[in-house]
Amino acid sequence: MIKKDHEFTPKVAILFAAYNECAVIKNKIKSILESSYPLENIEIWIGSDLSNDGTDEIVQDIQKSNSNIHLYRAAKRIGKSGIMNILIEKTDAEIIIATDANILFTPTTIEELIHSFVDDKVGAVAGSLHYHGEYANHTAKSENEYLQLENIIRLSESQHFGFCLGMEGGLYAIRKNLWTVIPPATFMEDFFQTMKIIEKQYQIIFNPKAVGLEEVSTSISEEYNRKIRIALGNFQNLKRFQSVLIKNFWPVGYAFLLHKILRWFTPHILIVLILSLILNPMTTLLGIVLLGFCILQFLLVKWKIHGRVAYFCAMNLAMLMGHLRYLKGVNSSVWQPTKRNQQ
Convert the pLDDT of each residue in 27-58 to its tens digit.
Answer: 999 999 999 999 999 999 999 999 999 999 99
- 251/262 Cα distance (integer angstroms): 16
Write down the pLDDT at residue 122: 96
Contact 17, 83 (CB under 8 A): yes
Q: What average pLDDT is seen over the chain? A: 91
Band (pLDDT 50/70/90 cuts) for residue 343 is very low
The pTM (predicted TM-score) of the whole model is: 0.91
Alpha helices in 71-219 (DSSP H): 79-88, 109-114, 138-161, 189-199
Of the candidates 132, 110, 341, the one whose C-alpha atom is nearest the C-alpha of residue 218 is 341
- pLDDT at residue 342, rounded to an integer: 46
Per-residue model confidence as pLDDT tens digits over 95-150: 999 999 999 999 999 999 999 898 899 999 999 998 887 665 667 788 888 889 99
Residue ranges of the domains in the chain?
Answer: 12-218, 249-328
Element containing residue 328 per DSSP (H, E)? helix 308-328
Beta carbons of 169 and 189 less than 8 angstroms apart: yes
79-88 helix and 189-199 helix, angle to the nearest 10 degrees:
50
Write down the architecture of domain 12-218 according to CATH.
Alpha-Beta Complex (3.90)
pLDDT at residue 5 in the model:
61
Residue 221 binned pLDDT confidence (cut-offs 50, 70, 90)? confident
Using CA atoms, how far residue 25 sits from 28, 60, 187, 273, in Å, is: 5, 11, 22, 46
Beta strand 95-99 with 171-175: parallel, antiparallel or unpaired?
antiparallel
**d(C-alpha 218, C-alpha 338), whole Å:** 11
Report whether 65 contacts 133 (CB < 8 A). Answer: no
pLDDT, residue 337, reads 76
CA distances from 142 to 220, 297, 310 (A): 10, 15, 10
What's the pLDDT band for 4 if we cut at 50, 70, 90? Answer: low
Average pLDDT over residues 217-245: 90
Band the pLDDT of 314: cuts 50, 70, 90. confident
Q: Output the pLDDT for position 282.
A: 86
- Give me the helix-helix angle, 308-328 and 220-241, nearest 10°: 50
pLDDT band at residue 209 under the 50/70/90 scheme? very high
* Amino acid letter, residue 220: I
